[in-house]
Amino acid sequence: MERELLAQLVGQKDTASNQPKWRVWICMATILLVTGTGGLAEPKEQNVDPNQPVPRWRKDYPSAQDLLQSVQDAIPKESMEIKAKINARATKEREGSKVYAEVLLHSGAGLYSAVYTVVDAFGGTMEQLIINREPDQPPRYRFRAGDPLEDAEVPDLLSHIKSTDITWVDLSLSFLWWPDGETVGSEKIRNRFCYIIEMPVPDDGTSEVAALRIWIDPKIPMLIQAEGYDQDGNRTRRLRVDSFKKVNGIWLIKDINVQRFDSGGRSKLRITDLKVLMDQDEEAVTGPTVL
């Protein structure tokens, strides 16, 4: 039954076929931070086994749009500087590797920008993606590569970052803004009540991931888990939030694990440092984002 539902889901077509498939990817704000206010409450009564998805015909749970909007609304408005480390385990096809990400985030007055740079163990720049987003407008991108950084063509954001299993999509959690989602059930993940949302991947059909299933904790509100499925309904990858904590009223995701079921690859992203920027530091965030 589950595979039939996913097969129906991946059969949906993206109506914006004239847009490049990276158009849908949004900046990485919610990978790191969501506040604990304004979330959608867990229902007090549900005569449903918490370990089984709720049937589609049940309508006593929030819409996917409302759930996703609650997570978007929880994004902090402060400008921030974040540092992260990505460890990729060795597989039969590759050696283990380690890269670092330096991220600048700015949100306010209806505008949002993100600058995140991948560097090596010695601090040398490797790649940088800049994203600007305005209300009711598609995101704008600028990509730079090398050391020193030079402008380059924006890559397929479904591609993996260097030799890790993490993609630009994983960093941005852009599916929190995708359309056509449907709340199809509820389930407990590591003893946290979550709603389950299913949605098609809005691209041209060439991606290894055709549909997505995500788990949202409505109390925080925060993403807890996401799984990708191919055209045949087979699970291909999983993104899982392993740990988070509340710091000064802000929920901080500390560890994210990404697992690929085709290659057996695993990569872990850990947030190692976070700093709220003062007004005098605004140029550090807004300056590089001008396109």
Cβ of 113: how many Cβ atoms within 10 Å?
26
Taking only the tens place, the pLDDT of each residue in 41-70 is 555 444 445 455 555 555 578 999 999 989
As a whole-number percent, the residues of the chain with pLDDT over 90 amount to 38
Tens-digit pLDDT profile for residues 236-278: 999 999 988 776 666 778 899 999 998 899 999 999 998 888 6
Q: How far is it, in rounded angstroms, from Cα 237 to Cα 31? A: 17
Instruction: Tell me what the mean pLDDT of segment 226-239 comes to.
Output: 92
Written as six digits, the tokens of 127 are 């790649």
What lies within 8 Å, CB to CB, of 82 at 6+ separation is 32, 101, 102, 103, 104, 105, 271, 273, 274, 275
The better pLDDT of the pair 80, 42 is held by 80
What is the per-residue pLDDT across 108-155, written as a single tens digit (0 to 9) for each? 666 778 888 999 988 899 999 998 878 777 788 899 999 999 999 998
pLDDT at 246: 73
User: Average of pLDDT values for 151-179?
Assistant: 87
Number of structural domains (the chain) is 1
Lowest mean pLDDT among 29-38, 152-161, 178-187, 238-247: 29-38
- pLDDT tens readout for residues 96-108: 999 999 988 887 6
Domain that holds residue 169: 2-289
Percent of the chain clearing pLDDT 70 (strictly above): 71
pTM summary value: 0.76
pLDDT, the chain, mean: 78
Using the structure block, give the residue that is written with the tokens 């993606």.
129
Which pLDDT score is estimated for 97?
92
Look up the CATH number of the domain holding residue 196.
2.50.20.10
